[in-house]
Chains A and B, each alone.
Chain A
């Protein structure tokens, strides 16, 4: 039987709150429900294991930073950099999130139903079987996928126009897939557009279906929609800049 522990975060500072979460995991909780969250930072920070943490309210900055395993589901918005330097596990945000979402994320998934701020997916990187995935339901702002070194960044633009410009500046690995056409002028130097092949579509389809299931959306129209795939123009964006003494 799954063990559920409920924590009331009302008026609680993030350090004691995180201590309560850690204690709940040590006590064998499979599911931790945190109510009345109002901007407490660092929830799920550095946590291991496979518990599910439900955050009811607005999560503060660096949600699930360095996290390795658990699933965090936020029924609300999240502030700056959820999934920062995250190793594995999953973050599901039913609202929108701030800047630098999934910054330097190394593995696992971050799903945001709403919009994200600037520099989404910045410097995401992959290694062997660790391949981070960021999916945004709404829009993303400028410098999307900056310095991206690996993984998949998918923007579904479900709520209308996608705002990002300077997409993929300094990208040297991974792929950015955006629903609909993205004008060349929105790409930064170092990024290039590629057609989405059937193989690519087959690869992203399970991700779209998982996202759709999490947010109760109809998956198939999204799976079959038109996408723009953006990849590095070169794996060595700075190679031509330097000479030796």
Chain B
């Protein structure tokens, strides 16, 4: 390496309490990053390889391993932070764009945490969900603007309005698009089984549909992204719905790129590209060069599948989000997924991940408001995604106008992911973001699917309780119901944008 910069201070330091350690070697077996190795009968440590994935800690039977972040200080400085300095060292050495894994690490305020939910007290009583039903069933897709009814000669009445296909969800929580290639087949299988068990849906991402997922195809939303990987008419017909990926919150305005190293024999078959070749998804769909072209793609997909499936579009949340959503609502799309700037990713340029886009809370609120203003709210359902972390985020997103949410990182965490952000290395020790057979085998799809299903179930219960406490017995009454939110320490401008009152008001 031709630079005078030398090695960076350790990011993490791993230590073994030698009194506790019984030299069982599980750390050596489990670490896929090469931190531990045997030297005779002693375990040596190379902390430089550590990613804080916690796999060794989890499997150490004696709790002998300890991890410390940033064991070496820089001179503290509020402007020239550690991250800023280390990025400069990196780019001074390489002259390249810095890629990073998972969602934004920018330390910006989270609006969800400044929104408080309402509850009933004396003037109106709460509902007890144990006693009274609280309905979370959600339908995604176009709703008719009016219903025409014909009266038949025998006095019976019949609906004459032609309804468009909707997806029926038992809970407003869906599993977002993470492709086979970015994550392992076992991770996808686990989520597919969880989706089936909980009555919801999952996204395929832009990686095609592996044959092992065919038994769950009625729970899959198949994605068409700009690379068109794995897309043919068979794929479209298998999905319960079809999603056009137009953007991603972690990297708005740019395409994606699965490096050839990750295109294994199986991934190559599903994506329908040669093994080891780069899978490049261009920034735009090259048949959509403007909003006028979008209806052509939407209608083409509908035409190819006989108008039997809802078509979704996914966009990143950016400045003119409301206009984007309103334009999409006029294109024939049935649901719009909006991915906020904290959305996850296997890899994205750091500068995009941390600096481009707007928060999902704002994007959903402004989209809902604009659609209502233009009389288009029934034309599309809204799906909020990008850093939905807990059930309260789901409830708040719905109160801001979402119909449902996609979760991504939260589902991975439910399968063991420690958010170490090293997905791009392709050696995920949890068997999630890897294609190496020995690592993939660590993730038992039966066990992991139960965990994901448990998470969805737990959140669903919590949302039911939150709604009951607010005296709301159906999800429709929560949707866009900003009166049940209050902003705490949010500025006046933002409150106005969100259309939410301040606490106390």
Contact = CB atoms under 8 A, between A and B. Distances in A.
> Do the two shown chains form a genuine complex with each other?
yes
Contact of A46 (B257, B274, B303, B349): B303
A126 B231 CA distance: 13
Given A42-B300, A85-B228, A127 B98 contact: no
B277 A235 contact: yes
A96 interface: no
Contact of A242 (B96, B236, B299): B96
Contacts of A90: none
A120 to B, nearest CB: 11
Nearest to B237: A46
A146 B101 CA distance: 28
B272 A127 contact: yes
B280 A170 contact: yes
B233 A241 contact: no
Interface string A217-245: 00000000000000000011111111111
Contacts of A80: 287, 293, 296
Interface string A157-176: 00000000000001011000
A113 interface: no
Contacts of B22: none
Contacts of B87: 245
A222 B92 CA distance: 53
A122 B304 contact: no
A128 B96 CA distance: 34
Interface in B417-468: 421, 424-425
B232 A45 contact: no
A245 B260 contact: no
A90 to B, nearest CB: 16
Contacts of B274: 126-127, 150, 173
B155 to A, nearest CB: 34
Contact of A14 (B227, B303, B349): B303
A18 B300 CA distance: 11
A42 B273 contact: no
B96 A123 contact: no
A71 interface: no
A109 interface: no
B97 interface: yes
Contacts of A125: 228, 272-273
B278 interface: yes
Contacts of A130: 272
A123 B304 CA distance: 21
Interface in B95-137: 96-101
Contacts of A106: 228, 232, 272
Contacts of A142: none
Given A236-B260, A243-B97, A147 B280 contact: yes
Interface stretch (A61-69, A179-187, A192-200): A61-69
B305 interface: yes
B233 A68 contact: yes
Nearest to A170: B280
Given A173-B274, A235-B260, A243-B96, A66 B232 contact: yes
B74 interface: no
A62 B272 contact: no
B232 A87 contact: yes
Interface in B252-284: 257, 259-260, 268, 272-274, 277-278, 280, 282
A235 B278 contact: yes
B378 interface: no
Interface string B284-323: 0011000001001101100111010000000000000000
A65 B304 contact: yes
Contacts of A172: 277-278, 280
B1 to A, nearest CB: 12
Interface in A89-123: 100, 103-104, 106, 119, 122-123
Nearest to A244: B99
A218 to B, nearest CB: 35
Interface string A4-25: 0000000000110010000000
A75 interface: no
Contacts of B268: 127
B90 interface: yes
Contacts of A173: 274, 277
Contacts of A45: 300, 303-304
Contact of A149 (B91, B273, B303, B349): B273
Interface string A35-52: 000000110011010000
Interface string B218-251: 0000000001100111101000000000000000
A123 B303 contact: no
A26 B349 CA distance: 50
A238 B303 contact: no
Contacts of B273: 125-127, 149-150
Contacts of B424: 244
A84 interface: yes
Contacts of B98: 242-245
A81 interface: yes
6 contacts: A15-B307, A46-B305, A125-B273, A173-B274, A244-B100, A245-B100
Interface of B: 87, 90-91, 94, 96-101, 227-228, 231-234, 236, 257, 259-260, 268, 272-274, 277-278, 280, 282, 286-287, 293, 296-297, 299-300, 303-305, 307, 349-350, 421, 424-425
Interface of A: 14-15, 18, 41-42, 45-46, 48, 61-62, 65-68, 80-81, 84-85, 87, 100, 103-104, 106, 119, 122-123, 125-127, 130, 146-147, 149-150, 170, 172-173, 235-245
Interface pairs A-B: 5 shortest CB-CB: A46-B304, A104-B228, A243-B96, A245-B100, A243-B94
Given A126-B273, A236-B259, 9 more contacts: A62-B287, A125-B228, A125-B273, A146-B286, A149-B273, A235-B277, A239-B259, A244-B98, A244-B424
